[in-house]
A and B are shown apart, each in its own frame.
Chain A
Amino acid sequence: MSKSRVLSIILAAVMVVTATLVVGAAETFKIGVVGPTTGPVATYGLSVIDAVVMAVEEVNAKGGILGQQVQLIIEDNKADATETSNAFRKLISRDQVHAIIGAVVTANSIVGGQIAQMMKVPMITPTSTAEKVTQAGDYVFRACLIDPVQGRIMANFAYNTLGLREVAVLTARTNDYSVGLEEVFVETFEGLGGKIVAKESYSEGDQDFRAQLTKIRAQNPEAVYVPGYYTEAGLIAKQMRQLGMNQPILGPDGFDSPKLFEIGGDAVYGSYFTNHYHPEAGDEVSQRFVDNYRAKYGKDPDGFAALGYDAAMILFNAIERAGEAALSRNISAARAAIRDAMAETKDLHVVTGVLTLDENRNPVKSAVILKVVEDGYEFVERVEP
């Protein structure tokens, strides 16, 4: 061993020791996660949080990020606006977190996003799809596709893959999600050369759609696009069949629930809908996630879990790329550095695909089209952005 080699080893050792000393002083990365673990939509929050917990355990087992462990602080907001506001303020002021994953429900993310923006703390919502959420400002990010993207994807799928030319739409006019999807779907479908033969609407909570469906039936469309939630979709499917309409139903991610089958029965079979994820659609990243999740929790991960895990991956990746700056003892500087890095997220391989964040901090990534069959959802195809 040459003299210089020995010297360099000693030098390296000294550097490692100093590095360890610095890391020891800077404690851990504190990440807050906000979602409902109790209350009416607790399953959404629990899915997200379980997945985030798993992501944190995995990264810590590998030695943390930049050699520093990640500490998770979980807050239950009961899907309530006031609770969300309290949770965000507590995490930011008292716990001094580096970043927040959440909230889960759109209305809560809008509240949380305003606080995160005001206090300049990077926040990433795993599952809130409304465009408005990230419009709060440059500290607010998301891991899921926004509503209009789904409308566009379904229109393309209907026209190109299914070869449909005449489609009817049935929208929940009291719901922003539904109206937003409808607009983009109609625009895209007509842009491709298709024809919207009937445009009908209903109010959320309606149970009787026979009048609208009879009107649609008279136009004899090849399919009906129903941008809405599973509760209404199930009933609409049922009443269509009772009126002798056998066309397939097209829908958005709001169809993703076992309740769709309970309410709609066999009437929903053969429907197609856009979604963020399907266990079978994946590559090795997604497969590893599914395997680990099954092993840890003894069940299949749903879309919420996949997106929760993705949000954590995006955040960890940003911290890693922020590097030295994220280790700053000055928490404001560290937060700003993480934000800057997160905004640059590009071609990151996550569970739901390969993801890039655009200038509005919304993901550009692929979606999946699923077909409703007797025992669940069948993977049809992956659609690139």
Chain B
Amino acid sequence: MQEVIQQLVNGISLGSIYGLIALGYTMVYGIIRLINFAHGDIYMIGAFVGYFAIRNFNLSFLPALLVAMAVCAALGTAIERLAYRPLRNSTRIAALITAIGVSFLIQNAALLAWTPDPRSYPDVFPLRTYEIGGVFVDNRQITILSVAVALMVVLHYIVNFTQIGRAMRAVAIDADTARLMGIDVDRVISFTFALGSALAAAAGVLVGIYYNRIEPTMGAMPGLKAFVAAVLGGIGVIPGAMLGGLVMGVAEVAVVALTASTWKDAVAFAILIVILLVKPAGLLGRQVREKV
């Protein structure tokens, strides 16, 4: 029993990381129907910016987090402006391939600039471990889960209950009509990217602190798994990303606990295939008929 609960804790803490990354993924997709494959790499950049902010400028946890979010928001807007906006009217596959290109560009630039050597994150967030009946939980796990849930709520609020959120939803439904209604579509899309990238940066810093190891390739695998989590929850649905992340995390841990750890990553992607076959819109997604 104690082992089951411990594994559940492990799964939820892993899942909240996937959820945290998936939030930005799903929001960008929800608004402009672009799977931003560079999201995982922005997450990596966020982790590094936080690292340098703490290491070289002696910032404490919260200012470093804000700096990383700001830098990545700017980076996200710049990427959108340079790489995606010129392709706004081309096919979706062109934008998708560009996103993969941007991902490789960022990752390799980071490898060049920071070497593939892993770095250890400065210890700005003292670790406290709590033991409850043989089950170990620490304050970092709790922080990540609460930050992820809080960001989910904030994001949900922004998208559904603010002026800019209304504009975002309008652009999502029909960009041309939104423009006719006087919405500055480019500005709305820039804002979407800024918000999504800031979320990725927050995830990067938190994960950097949690695992205490960052490297330029750290974005690849979590990026993919967060993508699966987003699809699982219903891509474009904000609470779905969180739910998808948690389900993924718990599923992965369950695989290790019940069968062999060799199957861990295979399961993540098996889940993706099953979801696409059985419920393509995801757990919380609504089946929407594509306009023809």
A→B interface (CB under 8 Å):
40, 173, 200-203, 205-208, 210-212, 214-215, 217-218, 231, 234-235, 238, 242-244, 259, 262-263, 265
Q: Tell me which residues across on chain B come within 8 A of A206, comparing CB atoms.
A: 221
User: Complex Cα distance A262/B51, Å?
Assistant: 14
> Are B118 and A263 in touch, CB under 8 angstroms?
yes
**Cα distance A212–B263 when bound, in Å?**
12
Known: A208-B211, A238-B212. A40 touches B257 (CB 8 A): no
Q: Report, nearest first, the 6 A-B pairs whose CB atoms are least far apart.
A: A211-B256, A262-B120, A210-B10, A211-B253, A207-B211, A200-B261
Q: How far is the CA of A13 from the CA of B218 in the complex (A)?
A: 70
- Within B130-177, which residues are at the interface with A (CB < 8 Å)? 131, 134, 136, 138
Verify B6–A207 contact, CB threshold 8 A: no
The verdict on B11 contacting chain A, using a C-beta distance below 8 Å, is yes
**Are the CB atoms of A242 and B212 closer together than 8 Å?**
no
Known: A214-B6, A262-B120. A203 touches B265 (CB 8 A): yes
**Provided the pairs A207-B213, A235-B211 are in contact, do residues A201 and B261 lie with their beta carbons within 8 angstroms?**
yes
**Are B221 and A212 within 8 A (Cβ)?**
no
A42-B265 Cα distance, complex, nearest whole Å: 32
| Chain A, Cβ-Cβ closest to B120 | A262
Tell me if A214 and B7 are in contact (CB < 8 A). Answer: yes
Contact of B116 among A40, A201, A238, A242 (CB under 8 A): A40
- In the complex, A208 Cα to B256 Cα: how many Å? 12
Could you list 25 A-B pairs, sorted by A, with CB under 8 Å?
A40-B117, A173-B262, A201-B261, A205-B217, A208-B14, A211-B10, A211-B11, A211-B14, A211-B256, A211-B257, A215-B256, A217-B3, A217-B6, A234-B120, A238-B212, A242-B129, A242-B138, A243-B6, A243-B136, A244-B131, A259-B117, A259-B118, A259-B120, A262-B120, A263-B213
Query: Closest CB-CB distance, B92 to chain A, in whole Å?
Result: 30
A78 → chain B closest CB, angstroms: 12
B213 to chain A: closest residue by CB: A263
Chain A contacts for B119, CB-based, 8 A: 262
Q: Could you say which of A212, A235, A262 contacts B256, with CB atoms under 8 Å apart?
A: A212
Is B115 among interface residues, defined by CB-CB distance under 8 A? Answer: yes
Within the complex, the shortest CB–CB distance from A124 to chain B, in Å, comes to 27
| Contact partner, A218, options B3, B220, B253, Cβ 8 Å | B3
Instruction: Tell me the complex Cα distance, A244–B3, Å.
Output: 12
- List the A residue with the shortest CB-CB distance to B138: A242
B residues less than 8 Å from A262 (CB atoms): 119-120
Please, which residues of chain B bring their CB within 8 A of the CB of A218?
Answer: 3
Min CB distance A68 to B, Å, is 41
Seed contacts A218-B3, A263-B212; 4 additional CB < 8 Å A-B pairs: A40-B116, A214-B257, A235-B211, A242-B138
- Among B118, B218, B221, the one with the most A-chain Cβ atoms within 10 Å of its Cβ is B118
**Contact across chains for B118 and A214 when beta carbons are under 8 A apart:** no
For A215, list chain B residues within 8 Å (CB): 3, 7, 256-257, 261
CB of B13 closer than 8 Å to a CB of A: yes
Would you call A211 and B3 a contact (CB within 8 A)? no
Flag if A205 contacts B14 (CB, 8 Å).
no
Question: B14: nearest residue on chain A (CB-CB)?
Answer: A208
Q: Which residues of B contact A259 (CB under 8 A)?
A: 117-118, 120
Task: Report how far A202 CA is from B253 CA in the complex, Å.
Answer: 12
A201 and B3 form a contact (CB under 8 A): no
Q: Say yes or no: B3 contacts A214, CB within 8 Å.
A: yes
Interchain nearest-CB distance for A260 vs B (Å): 10
> Quick one: which of A208, A231, A244 contacts B136, CB cutoff 8 A?
A244
CA distance A212 to B7 in the complex (A): 9
A240 nearest CB across to chain B (Å): 11
Residues of B240-275 at the interface with A, using a CB-CB cut-off of 8 Å, are 252-253, 256-257, 260-262, 264-265
* A residues in contact with B131, CB < 8 Å: 244
**Which residues of chain B have C-beta atoms less than 8 A from A244's C-beta?**
129, 131, 134, 136
A118 to B256, CA, bound (A): 46
- CB neighbours (8 Å) of B111 from chain A are 40
Output the residue of B7, B131, B213, B221 with the most chain A CB within 10 A. B213
Contacts of B3 in A (CB 8 A): 214-215, 217-218
